[in-house]
Amino acid sequence: MAIRRMLLSRKLLAATLLGVLAGSPEAAWARVKLITLPVRERVEIQLDNEQATLVEEERIVPLVKGENQIDFSWANTQIDPGTIVFRVVEGDDAPEVKVLSVSYPPNESALVWSVSASEAGAARVRISYLLGNLTKSFNYRAVASNDERTLDLSQFMRLKNLANEEFAGASLWAGFGPNFSQPVGLNETKELLVERFKAVPIEKTYTCNPQEYEYLDRAQNKLRVPMHYVIKNDAEHGLGKAALPFGKVRIFIAGGGDDPQAGTAFLGEDWGKFTPRDDEMRLYLGVAQDVVVKRTIEKNETRRVSGNLYDQELIVKFEVENFKKQPVRLDVIENLRHLRNEVRGDNGRDVKWELGKETTFADGPDEERSNAEQLVFHAELPAAGKDGKAEKQALKLHITLKNEW
C-alpha cells in the first residue's frame, strides 16, 4: 500500500506525502534515506468558511520510542504552511506523543515535525491545513409549475478541485445540509445536490421603479416593468432552515399538457443574492411587455416659504394598462430623492416629503417596504377583456417636497 502510494505520488508529482524518517535526525537529510509512507485513513474537506477550505486528514504513523522526524510535503499545491495544525488522536493503546518542534527546510514546500513517543507503536495523527484552489460555489435549478404558483428548487454545491491533489473518499461538508462522501479527483468539478425543496410557493411580481429600472421608452413615457419570482426563505414557504447562499438560479417552467416534464421550457436565469432566513430572494426573469406603465409628472408647483426656501407640490401620474389575460398586481415604487433630483436637481440633502390627498392608490403605501426614501404602492390590474382591450387606470401620487432650497 505504501509503495503504491509512493508510485502514485511520483506519477502525479503533486501528492501530499507524509513520511517517517528512520534513523537519527543527523542521517535524515543524507542523500540515501528510507521513509515509510503512511496512507490517508480519512479525509474531511470543510467548506463552511466563506473564504477558505480546510482539509483534515488522518494517518496512522509508526513511531519508534524516543524522537521521530515526520516529514510532510506538499509540492505543487497551495497549502498555507502557517495554517497546518498537527494533532495526535489519543487512543488506549497508542503511545503518548509530544510535538517538540517544527522545522521548515529552505526552498521546499515541506516541513518536519520532531515528535517524541513514549513507546514504539502506531499513532493516529490528524493534520489540518487550508488548501487553496479547492473552492466551492452554489447554484440553483428551479422548475416553476405551469401556473407559476410554486416551484421546485434544487440547491447544488459545485466543488472545483484545482488544488493539484486528489482525495479518495473524502467527506465534504458545506456548513449546512448533509455530509457527502465522495472521491474528489484531480482538476475535477463536482456538482452535488445539497437540498431539494418541493413546491415552494412563489409570488410573481411586476414592478416599476424609475430609479432602479428606468424608462423602457422615454419618448412615450413608458416605464420598464420587470417581472420577478419572489421566494421567501421562511418555514411558511417550505424553506427557512438556513440562509440561501449566493448563486446563479436557472429557472424553468413546466409545460401545460399531460406531460408537464416534456413541455419544460427555460425561462431565464438570475443571480440569487445571499438570502438570510425570513428574507426574500427576488429573481429577475425579464421585462413584461404586456403590462404598460406610462409615468408623467402632471403637476409641478413651487411655493415660496421664505427667501430661497420653497415647498414643491408634485403629482406623478401612472397610466397603467394590463394586456394580459390574467389579472396582475403591480408594485409601483417611487424613490423620493430621485423624484426631487428630477424636478429640482440634486442638492445632496435628504428629502422631507408629505403624501398629499390627491393620491389615488387604493390601499396607501406598503408600510413594510416603504421607508424615508422610497414609497411602495400596489395596484391591482384586471385582466384584459376578451377583445384584447385593456382597462386604462390613472393612478396618482401626490407629494409635497418640503423646505427645499
Partner 1 sequence: MHTNIPHLRKLAALAALLAITATASQRSLAQNIDLSTVPSRDSVQLTIYNSEDITLVRETRVISFKKGLNPLQFSWANTLIDPSSVELTILQPADKLELLDTTFPHDKPQMLYWNVQSEFDGEATVQITYFTSGITWSADYVAIADGDEATLDLEGFVRITNNSGEEYENAQVRLVVGTINLVEKIAQLAQIPASEVSEMEDLARRELKSQATREFFAKADKLAYDAATPTLAGMGGGELAEAKQIVKEGLSEYFIYTVEGTETIPNGWSKRLHSFEANDAPLKIEYRYRPREYGDQLVRMYLLANDEESHLGTTPLPDGVVRVFRNNGRDGLSYLAQQTVKYIPIGDKIELNLGVDPEVVFELVKKGVSREKIWTQIHNTNTFKLVGDDARREEENASVVGWADRTEYEQRIRNYTAKPIDVEIRRTYDGHIAFISGLEPKLHDYQTVELKTQVKPGEKETLDFTIVQQQGTNVKQNNVTLEAASKL
* Residues near partner 1 (CB under 8 A): 21, 25-26, 28-29, 44, 46, 48-50, 52, 54, 56, 65-67, 69, 82-83, 85, 96, 98-107, 112, 114, 116-118, 126, 128, 130, 173, 179, 243, 274, 276-279, 304-309, 349-352, 371-373, 402-403, 405
> In terms of DSSP bridges, do strands 203-208 and 328-335 run parallel, antiparallel, or are they unpaired?
parallel
| Identity of the residue, 218 or 304, whose beta carbon is nearer to partner 1 in the bound complex | 304
- Single out the residue of 356, 359, 402 nearest to residue 379, CA to CA: 359
CA-CA distance, 125 to 211, in Å (whole number)? Answer: 59
Residue 246 CA from chain centroid, whole number: 1
In the bound complex, what is the minimum distance in angstroms from residue 397's beta carbon to partner 1? 18
Q: Which amino acid is at 89?
A: V
Q: Which amino acid is at 307?
A: G
In the bound complex, what is the minimum distance in angstroms from residue 112's beta carbon to partner 1? 6
Q: Which amino acid is at 19?
A: G
| Identity of the residue, 34 or 309, whose beta carbon is nearer to partner 1 in the bound complex | 309
In the bound complex, what is the minimum distance in angstroms from residue 101's beta carbon to partner 1? 5
CA-CA distance, 199 to 149, in Å (whole number)? Answer: 9
In the bound complex, what is the minimum distance in angstroms from residue 215's beta carbon to partner 1? 26
Grid-cell match 409635497, residue found: 400
| Identity of the residue, 324 or 402, whose beta carbon is nearer to partner 1 in the bound complex | 402
In the bound complex, what is the minimum distance in angstroms from residue 51's beta carbon to partner 1? 8
In the bound complex, what is the minimum distance in angstroms from residue 228's beta carbon to partner 1? 21
In the bound complex, what is the minimum distance in angstroms from residue 308's beta carbon to partner 1? 5
Q: 169-192 burial string, b = 16+ CB within 10 Å, else e?
A: ebebbbeeeeebebebeeeeebeb
Q: Quick one: which H or E segment has residue 262?
A: none
The x, y and z cell numbers of residue 2, run together, are 505504501
In the bound complex, what is the minimum distance in angstroms from residue 137's beta carbon to partner 1? 16
Assess contact for 309 and 403: CB atoms under 8 A: yes
| Identity of the residue, 363 or 368, whose beta carbon is nearer to partner 1 in the bound complex | 368
Query: Using CA of residue 361, residue 364, residue 366, residue 371, what is the dihedral sign?
Result: positive
Assess contact for 123 and 61: CB atoms under 8 A: yes
Q: How many residues does the chain have?
A: 405
| Identity of the residue, 25 or 185, whose beta carbon is nearer to partner 1 in the bound complex | 25
3-state secondary structure labels for all residues of 128-187: EEEECCEEEEEEEEEEECCCCCEEEEEEEEEEEECCCCCEEEEEEECCCCCCEEEEECCC
Q: Quick one: which H or E segment has residue 210?
A: helix 210-213
| Identity of the residue, 129 or 197, whose beta carbon is nearer to partner 1 in the bound complex | 129
| Identity of the residue, 317 or 344, whose beta carbon is nearer to partner 1 in the bound complex | 344
| Identity of the residue, 115 or 291, whose beta carbon is nearer to partner 1 in the bound complex | 115
Q: How many CA atoms lie within 13 A of 75 on its CB side?
A: 12
In the bound complex, what is the minimum distance in angstroms from residue 327's beta carbon to partner 1? 32
Query: Using CA of residue 63, residue 64, residue 66, residue 70, what is the dihedral sign?
Result: negative
In the bound complex, what is the minimum distance in angstroms from residue 128's beta carbon to partner 1? 5
CA-CA distance, 91 to 111, in Å (whole number)? Answer: 25
| Identity of the residue, 214 or 346, whose beta carbon is nearer to partner 1 in the bound complex | 346
| Identity of the residue, 114 or 360, whose beta carbon is nearer to partner 1 in the bound complex | 114
